[in-house]
Amino acid sequence: MSDTPLVLFREDSRLTPYQHALEAAGIEASYRLPSTDLEMQSFTALVLTGGTDVNPELYHQSSRPETDPPDVERDICELRLIGQALQLDLPVLAICRGMQILNVSRGGTLQQHLPDDCGHRSYPSDRAEPAHSVSLEPDSLIAAACRSLTLDVNSRHHQALDRLGEGLRVTARSPDGIIEAVECVDKLFVVAVQWHPEDQVFRYLEQLQLFTYFGAVVNRRSRAHHK
């Protein structure tokens, strides 16, 4: 087994913030494009990054006009690797699209387009700028990681979780009730957030602490595996 987490990405232009966030937390990772050659047995953890919308056919819906054209290769690759990671009980950190495909992988559905006037569709030039606050469940992994029960987050998504997937628990919501974080109830560390903490780590300590906590879990599991 490699001693590094796998970070899946599609857009080169958006990779740098993830690299900087993981490096700031002391995490050395392997960055890969979607591929049929990838297997989670070769990595210590999985990081799912943001990107285009998940194909609605995967949750048995027709695509709305506002929904992105599907990235079939990425969807198939991520669904397979999520399944492997959960079976192996590897740590998983899922961000934005990552949270949505995690939910779909567990049989959940998505709200394909949020109302145009809601506060989740903020696209400022400063990607770290908060769009709204979220409230965290006090007994959740994300609250333990961030050491806080409220966060100011930079959500910029036009889709959201609708029906919750099997084995997932809501651990953060925005003031209007939109699901902003979930975790797997029976796994070591599977945490998914709807915002982009990678863009906020150098301005908000709580966001850096999420990556640091993730890294600590990965290291503990790796040491236990090698004993």
Distance CA 202, CA 82 (A): 29
Catalytic, out of 78, 180, 198, 206? 198
Catalytic, out of 77, 96, 146, 184? 96
Q: Check residue 119 and give its pLDDT.
A: 57
What residue ranges do the domains of the chain occupy?
Answer: 6-226
Distance CA 210, CA 206 (A): 7
Write out pLDDT tens, residues 101-110: 999 999 999 9
Give the pLDDT band (50/70/90) at residue 225. Answer: confident
Is the confidence at residue 116, as pLDDT, over 90?
no
Q: Check residue 224 and give its pLDDT.
A: 79
Distance CA 180, CA 21 (A): 20
How do beta strands 150-153 and 46-48 pair? unpaired
Catalytic, out of 158, 184, 196, 206? 196
Q: Check residue 121 and give its pLDDT.
A: 61
Q: Which CATH class is domain 6-226?
A: alpha beta
Which residue, among 10, 115, 110, has the nearest Cα to 63 in the 3D structure?
110
CA geometry: angle 158, 162, 166, nearest 5 deg: 135
Q: Give 54-77 as a DSSP string.
A: PPGGGGT-PPPTTSPPP-HHHHHH
Q: Check residue 122 and give its pLDDT.
A: 61
- Active site includes 196? yes
Q: Check residue 82 and give its pLDDT.
A: 98
Is the confidence at residue 123, as pLDDT, over 70?
no
- Active site includes 166? no
Both tokens of 145, joined, read: 């990681």
* Cβ atoms within 10 Å, residue 13: 5
Mean pLDDT of the chain: 94
Is the confidence at residue 66, as pLDDT, over 60?
yes
Is the confidence at residue 202, as pLDDT, over 60?
yes
Distance CA 227, CA 56 (A): 43
Give the pLDDT band (50/70/90) at residue 144. Answer: very high
- Active site includes 184? no
* 51-80: burial string, b at 16+ Cβ within 10 Å, e else: bebbbbebbeeeeeeebeebbeebbebbbb
The mean pLDDT of 116-139, rounded to a whole number, is: 80
The mean pLDDT of 56-78, rounded to a whole number, is: 97
Write out pLDDT tens, residues 147-186: 999 999 998 889 999 999 999 999 999 999 999 999 999 9
